[in-house]
Every structure is written in structure tokens, then in C-alpha cells.
Amino acid sequence: MDLALSLGEKSKAPLTFLDKIQPQKTRFEKVSLGFCMGLGEPHISRTGSRSKGEEEEEEEKSGSSDPPVQLDLLPVAPVQRNIQPPSHMIPFPWLTANLLGEPGPSHKAAGREVEVNRGRSLAAEEGEDGGVQHSSPNSTVSSLIQNMDHRRGYNCRRESEMTSLLVVLNNHDQAVETGQRGHVSNSNSRARSTDDQDDEEDIINGLNRKKLRLSKEQSAFLEDSFKEHKTLNPKQKLALAKQLNLRPRQVEVWFQNRRARTKLKQTEVDCEYLKKWCETLTEENRRLQKEVQELRALKTSQPFYMQLPATTLTMCPSCERVASTATANATTATTTNVDASTGTKSRSYPFTTSQTEAQAQTQIQQARSLD
């Protein structure tokens, strides 16, 4: 794919292939500043392995190659647009009104529902059938550029996006010319995987990839697969993609998102648990503070323990809470209490007022060990 971008006068496009473009007088030619873009049919083999002869052969099969197109976008100039039918009426929304208006092989697809999730593969088949493979570039160019901008393989960093895009494309052309299709070395471009090449093919095919909802069956299958393994190796990914008729990249993304969802859910569960635990600890702390206050009050107001009636210190083994209860009749028998919050049973351990707090604590420890 030959793509040239230039800012300024349209005739100053730096790429040589633009020379092939028929000089077209535009209505806006007098405007000196604009955005010029050229789009030409690739001279490259999409697989990179085919010989020039094969390419020519294919070119012959598909008929004459589309002429390169130059598009001039001007800042505030009123651009006359073709009125397009609503997208839902177009079986292939990425097709242009021009193309739909023309009788041709692509019309075979018109009126046929596209199986949504088969996007690429179906489209590829259509392309092989002489279908939509090279849709009219005119109105797809802007969306193509938009997509191109987001492509991983042509990932443009914030600075000098367009410049880097040009460099990438230039390098790409050079690589192709030297028969080195594949990796394009550029500091601003990301590493390109086979999926990226896959994506690039889609761009070449003129497919404006939309977000696709996976079918229930596909989701269920992926879920089952996710239960087996949270990550995929390349083989598994390819197999799944093939089985589900998805692109490997889609499978990869699904697993990434699935992992993220799992983690988020787990975080929410953990958060809820910690929240409850925190509430419990706060409540227990409050009770203990109260207990300490009671004991201190007891100690200061009643220095002569012997004069006091027996006090029963109650400890709940589950929450290890100690409560002092002054009883008129001290008893040595243990009583059973039920903790309303936990529903666990606890026993009351009698202490006499003659015991010091330290002694009481010792008894508590003993009681704990008994329980």
C-alpha cells in the first residue's frame, strides 16, 4: 500500500508514486495550505513471498489495478460529500456510496447479511471472489487513516505522528523493494507481530474494522478455554482462533481482558472482605476500650476488693472478649452464653473480687487454653 501524506501544498507530496497520480485540478487548488494524501495500489506482495510474476498474474486476475487516488483535505473548505445511506442499510458499512452505486462484483455481497464475527475471514473470502477486496479508496481513506493511526504496527507516538507514519511507510516501501517485507525498523514504530501484518492486510483490504460482539457460543468456548488455562501459548491461540473463526489477535485480546476482569472481580471481593474485617475490628476495639474503662473504674472506685460482691468476668472464646458483671450472688458454676453476632457459644468464668486484674488475666489465659 502506498500512502503519502503531506502538509502544505498538495503537489509537494514526497513519495514518488504520487507522480503516477493524474494531476487533478481541484476546486480548492488556490488554497495554499491543506492536507494532501495519496493512496495507491500496492506494488507489493501481501505475503511477501510471492514473485513479481505471481503478483502480475494476480493483478491480471483481479482486473486492472485501481489507479492511485489523491485526496486533498482542506481546513475549512466546504467539501461536497456524497450522501450515503444509513449504515444499517449497507451490508458492508465500510463500502463507499460510490462503490455501492457502481455495478460490479462487489454487488454480489449487497443485501447479504454479514456474519458479524467473521469480519475478516469472510471479507477475505469476498476479496478472493473478487468482492470487496479493494473498495473505492475515496471515502474510505479518512477512516483508513484513522485506523492506521491506531494500528499497532503503525503506532504513532504523540510527537510527529504524521512524520513518523511517513517514515514508516517509506521504510516499508524500501523494505518491499528490496524484498524484505516484514519488520520495519523505526524508533517510533512498535514491533510488528504477525497479527499486525494481519491487521495491515485488513487495511489493505479496505476493511474498517468495527468492534465485534462475540457470539454466545464463541464466548462460552473462550470461557471454557479460560478455565483450562489463563494464558495462551501461540499454538493454542492460533488453534482457538481457527476454531472460533476469529483473528488470533481477537483471541489474545479476549484473554487479556478476561484476566483483567478476573483480577478486578477478585479485587472487589478482597476489598469487601477487608471492609468487613475492618468493621469487625473496629467494633471489637470499641468493646475492648469500653472494657478497659470499666475495669479501670472498678479499680479506682473499689480499692478494697474484699468488700465487694463477687464479680463474674465473662469471656467469649470466639471473640476473646472479657466482660465484668457484678453479681449479687457469686457463683462458681459456669454459665453458657451465646454470642449474638457470631452465634457461637461461650462460657462464663467466675472470678471473685479478691482477685486482682492480673490474676483475672491469668485465669483468662488458662480458660483460653482449656477451650
Residues of this chain that bind DNA (CB under 7 A): 147, 149-152, 155-158, 182-183, 185, 190-194, 199, 209-214, 219, 231-234, 237, 249-250, 252-257, 259-261, 263
Q: Smaller CB distance to DNA: residue 193 or 302?
A: 193
Q: Smaller CB distance to DNA: residue 213 or 276?
A: 213
| Residue 61 Cα distances to 64, 65, 128, 129, angstroms | 8, 10, 10, 11
Q: How far does CA 355 lie from the centroid of its chain?
A: 66
We find the least distance from the C-beta atom of residue 153 to DNA, in angstroms, to be: 9
DSSP assignment letter at 310? P
Q: Smaller CB distance to DNA: residue 66 or 161?
A: 161
Q: Which residues pair with 36 in a beta bridge?
A: 6, 72
We find the least distance from the C-beta atom of residue 241 to DNA, in angstroms, to be: 11
Task: Say how far apart CA 239 and CA 227 lie, in whole Å.
Answer: 16
We find the least distance from the C-beta atom of residue 155 to DNA, in angstroms, to be: 5
Close Cβ partners of 60 (under 8 Å, ≥ 6 residues apart): none
The closest alpha carbon to 280, from 324, 341, 368, belongs to: 341
Q: Smaller CB distance to DNA: residue 236 or 352?
A: 236
Q: Smaller CB distance to DNA: residue 257 or 280?
A: 257
Q: Smaller CB distance to DNA: residue 13 or 95?
A: 95
We find the least distance from the C-beta atom of residue 345 to DNA, in angstroms, to be: 41
We find the least distance from the C-beta atom of residue 50 to DNA, in angstroms, to be: 20
Q: Smaller CB distance to DNA: residue 256 or 342?
A: 256
Q: Smaller CB distance to DNA: residue 256 or 280?
A: 256
Other CB atoms within a 10 A radius of the CB of residue 360 amount to: 19
We find the least distance from the C-beta atom of residue 249 to DNA, in angstroms, to be: 6
Task: Say how far apart CA 94 and CA 133 lie, in whole Å.
Answer: 11
288 touches 252 (CB < 8 A): no
349 touches 315 (CB < 8 A): yes
Rg, C-alpha atoms of the chain: 38
> Can you spell out the DSSP letters for 21-84?
S-----TTTT----EEEEEE---S-SSS-S-HHHHHHHHHHT-SPPPPEEEEE-SS-----PPP
We find the least distance from the C-beta atom of residue 208 to DNA, in angstroms, to be: 9
Q: Grid coordinates 476489598 are at which residue?
A: 271
323 touches 314 (CB < 8 A): yes
Q: Which residues pair with 345 in a beta bridge?
A: 338
We find the least distance from the C-beta atom of residue 177 to DNA, in angstroms, to be: 17
Q: Smaller CB distance to DNA: residue 171 or 352?
A: 171
We find the least distance from the C-beta atom of residue 264 to DNA, in angstroms, to be: 8
Close Cβ partners of 77 (under 8 Å, ≥ 6 residues apart): 27, 28, 31, 34
